[in-house]
Amino acid sequence: MLNISRNKNINKKEVDLHKFSSFQRIKRKKDYKIFNRFLIAFSLIILITLFLPWTQNVKGSGFVTALSPDQRPQTIQSPIPGRIEKWFVKEGDFVQKGDTILFISEIKNEYQDPELLEKTVEQKEAKSASILSYKEKQNALKKQIQALEQERTNKIAQTKNKQKQLALKYENDSIYLIALKNNVDIAKIQLDRTSSLHKEGLKAKKDVEEKNLKWQDSKAKYISQQNKMNITQNEIQNAAFEISKLKATYLDKIAKLQGEIFSVESVLLNTKAQVSKLENQTASYKIRQDQLYITAPQKGIINRAIRVGIGEAFKEGEKLVSIMPINYDLAVETFVDPIDLPLIHVGGEVRIQFEGWPVLFFSGWPNTSYGTFAGKVVTIESFMSENGKFRLLVVPNENDKEWPKNVRIGTGANTVALLNDVPIWYELWRQLNGFPADFYKQNVEKKNKEKKK
């Protein structure tokens, strides 16, 4: 038994451990020395490694895309609902801009008439001809107005001339009336003288009667002349009334013709509106007929037919076929966490690992990595994407090796944005404490040079 009990009543016979092989192996001092040396060497290596430089980085994942939006894969939609009638291409075919991809037919009843465009053109031409007729009628009415105005001017002038003639006649009659008044006065004086002489017996009764007859005759002529002057004065007033009547009559006639002109103008404008509407319909029908042929928007390759069946109906805006442009500039669309966004800047260096390409990658030592490609940030999205991260666009770095030529759009890519160089112990300390990476400021080297100067 082993002598390890404190009970003194037990047998005190000691056991020799050196007789056991396992104890002999444990007691080897040489093995201790080798293990201690190993621990010391390993500790030195770890200690030295902690002072090696480490490149801080921000990791992201995304995929290969095209730099310009018009260079990315796109789908072709139909702006009108229809039915597929014929395919002119198949998947993988190369098409030029404007090449016909497929032909569709109308499914709406109001557009199914094959002569719809021709009939609309005929309606437009008929309405255009009616516009010419209305314009001719309008010109004829204007000419009638001009004729009436000329006739009114002539008749008013004629009446005014008559009025002037009557005025002159009235003036002459008034002068003649004065002469007749003088004759009446003279005949009266002669009658009175002869009557006085007759009373004195110097004149015969016959002479008195002759003078009385002469006075009566002069008086009758005077009254007759007064009546003529009154008639002439009435004719002058009637002439003035005639001028007013002519003005009112022709004004009424001209107003009626102007009313007809306005009516024709209203109909003409309405007809022009109908012609414009028919022209819009004609243009729309023509464009709609052209839209029955789905054409390639740019030079590219037919990627995939989304609607495939002949006679298959679809709504407007539905995707029919996808096309991949031939010419494009590669870029990587990657996403980073919001906490790392302040560390990224336009022009920053990025290392990219493409899926499908062999790679030996050390995130802290990008210069010793194999199979990665260099890029630089050109765009930083201003708002968060649906996946809760911010989107970056990375293009090839012209100063480094070219990206693989066989990289296709849609290929997955892992990115590492390079930040500041720090010792490994500092990076471990930062990771353990959850501190953010050091912000790499742009143009630091230039600022340092300026400080040295």
**Last residue of some domain: 325, 343, 368?**
325
**Last residue of some domain: 243, 268, 290?**
290
Kindly state the tokens that stand for 406: 């066989």
Q: Which residues pair with 239 in a beta bridge?
A: none
Residue 445 has pLDDT above 60, yes or no: no
Residue 419 has pLDDT above 70, yes or no: no
Residue 181 has pLDDT above 80, yes or no: yes
Same structural domain, 296 and 409:
no
Distance CA 433, CA 430 (A): 5
The total number of structural domains that make up the chain: 4
Residue 451 has pLDDT above 60, yes or no: no
Same structural domain, 245 and 257:
yes
Same structural domain, 281 and 148:
yes
Task: Provide CB contacts within 8 A for 342, sequence distance 6+.
Answer: 439
CATH number of the domain enclosing 102: 2.40.50.100
pLDDT single digits (tens) 343-365: 778 888 888 888 877 665 545 44
- Is 157 domain-assigned? yes
- Is 15 domain-assigned? no
Same structural domain, 207 and 269:
yes
Range of the domain at 442: 55-70+328-452
- Is 179 domain-assigned? yes
Same structural domain, 363 and 245:
no
CA neighbours within 13 Å on the CB side: how many for 171? 6
pLDDT single digits (tens) 274-303: 989 989 988 888 988 888 999 999 999 998
Same structural domain, 300 and 337:
no
Kindly state the tokens that stand for 173: 């009659």
DSSP string computed for 300-319:
EEEEEESS--TT-EE-TT-E
Strand 100-105 relative to strand 94-95, pairing:
unpaired
- Whether the CB-CB separation of 354 and 404 falls below 8 Å is answered with yes
- Whether the CB-CB separation of 297 and 174 falls below 8 Å is answered with no
Distance CA 336, CA 38 (A): 42
Residues 14-36, buried b or exposed e (16+ Cβ, 10 A)? Answer: eeeeeeeeeeeeeeeeeeeeeee
pTM exceeds 0.75: no
